[in-house]
Amino acid sequence: MRSVPASAAAVTTAPLLQVDGVSLEYRTARSVVRATHRVGFDVLPGDRFVLLGPSGCGKSTLLKAVAGFLTPRDGEIRLEGKPVHGPGPDRIVVFQEFDQLPPWKTVKQNVMFPLLASRTLGRREAAERALHYLDKVGLAAFADAYPHTLSGGMKQRVAIARALAMQPKILLMDEPFAALDALTRRRMQEELLALWEEVRFTLLFVTHSIEEAVVIGNRVLLLSPHPGRVRAELDTAGFGLAGLGSSRFQATVQRIHHLLFPDSPPPGQGGEGAEGRTLSPTDLRFAI
Ligand SMILES: Nc1ncnc2c1ncn2[C@@H]1O[C@H](COP(=O)(O)OP(=O)(O)O)[C@@H](O)[C@H]1O
Ligand SMILES: [Mg+2]
């Protein structure tokens, strides 16, 4: 994982990832589903860049395209200036599902596997690196355990260690904590931020939770409902979990809530809260 200085977000820094006017479609025999429409954004080295939007707005589809599993219908995705034409070890995805770890491999073997399969390292170096990252996620003591003996949160930490061990140029996370209970989810957010402080990787993180986006991201891209289009890009640097109760944090959450749900009361004022809501199909009319 390459290190980047804390001031990496300076405007002079060249983007690591460029998503340039990207439209993505699913084609079946009978229909074409447009998932995103001309979405554009740049991720700088060291960014914790969050894609936030309602279910079905194309967040996972965008992430799959950045990972190289889907080819844009229009536009281009570039990593360090070079067009993305398929999957590669420079982009690793962590998914929401707990079953992303083969159950017949121990925790350590799971983390070693991509390093060996991609011939990145030999067996001894792979074992060393696996233990290094397992230690970073607090699971060194569970190196020889099998996945079915771990909690959901621990399995996600293994998946994160496995991804970081590949030292990708960018780590892609698709709602990695969405299936966890609220307390575990909060702890995982805290740990991810602590890990970022230590390792300073570049992160592209997908969520439909406003609060999670503000906690995790230093920049948040707000996507409109299906098909996803860019609605706003917000600077959310300097919040983290410590800022959770602050008035600036609440103001930002409410501002995003208003951008998403212009006609409903903000969270805590009779509304049912920002999470889990679906947008009305009417186009949102607000200035970015
Ligand atoms: N494999 C697929 N085939 C056809 N349509 C799909 C497929 N996957 C997703 N879609 C559609 O593309 C749109 C975006 O989906 P997705 O990227 O999963 O949204 P999100 O992750 O924001 O919830 C949705 O309308 C969804 O129904
Ligand atoms: Mg999704």
* pLDDT range class, residue 4, cuts 50, 70, 90: low
Q: What pLDDT shows up at residue 288?
A: 26
CA-to-CA distance for 123 and 230, rounded, in angstroms?
A: 44
Closest listed ligand to the CA of 95: 2
Q: What pLDDT shows up at residue 282?
A: 31
Length of the chain: 288
Please say whether the beta carbons of 15 and 82 come within 8 A: no
| pLDDT 10s digits, 79-100 | 999 999 999 999 999 998 878 8
| pLDDT 10s digits, 174-197 | 999 999 999 999 999 999 999 999
Q: Which residue has its alpha carbon closest to ligand 1 atom 20?
A: 56
Residue 272 has pLDDT above 70, yes or no: no
* pLDDT range class, residue 269, cuts 50, 70, 90: low
Q: Return the top range by mean pLDDT from 192-206, 257-271, 273-287.
A: 192-206
| pLDDT 10s digits, 113-146 | 999 999 999 999 999 999 999 999 999 999 999 9
How remote is the CA of residue 191 from the centroid of ligand 1, in Å?
29
Q: What pLDDT shows up at residue 185?
A: 94
From 30, 37, 59, 61, the mutation candidate for ligand 1 (largest count of ligand atoms within 8 A of CB) is 61
Residue 6 has pLDDT above 60, yes or no: no
How remote is the CA of residue 11 from the centroid of ligand 2, in Å?
30
Q: Which residues contact 245 (CB under 8 A, 6 or more apart)?
A: none
Domain 1-90+170-288 has CATH 3.40.50.2000: no
| pLDDT 10s digits, 22-80 | 999 999 889 999 999 999 999 999 999 999 999 999 999 999 999 999 999 999 999 99
Q: Is the CB of 69 under 6 A from ligand 1?
A: no
Instruction: Give the SS3 label for residue 30.
Output: coil
Please say whether the beta carbons of 220 and 52 come within 8 A: yes
Share of the chain above pLDDT 90, in %: 74
Residue 7 has pLDDT above 70, yes or no: no
Q: Is the CB of 59 under 6 A from ligand 1?
A: yes
Q: Indicate the average pLDDT of the chain.
A: 88
Q: Which residue has its alpha carbon closest to ligand 1 atom 24?
A: 56
230-235 vs 203-207, strand pairing mode: unpaired
Q: What pLDDT shows up at residue 90?
A: 95
User: Tokens 């707990």 map to which residue?
Assistant: 98
Average pLDDT of the residues in 148-154? 94
How remote is the CA of residue 201 from the centroid of ligand 1, in Å?
28
Please report, for the chain, the start and end positions of each structural domain, with discontinuous segments joined by +.
Answer: 1-90+170-288, 98-167
Q: What is the CA radius of gyration of the chain?
A: 19
Closest listed ligand to the CA of 57: 1
Closest listed ligand to the CA of 25: 1
Name the least confident of 51-55, 105-109, 206-210, 225-229.
225-229
Q: What pLDDT shows up at residue 128?
A: 98
Determine the Cα angle at 65 with ends 55 and 274, to 5°: 20
CA-to-CA distance for 91 and 89, rounded, in angstroms?
A: 5
- Residue 52: name the closest of 206, 204, 264, 272 by CA: 206
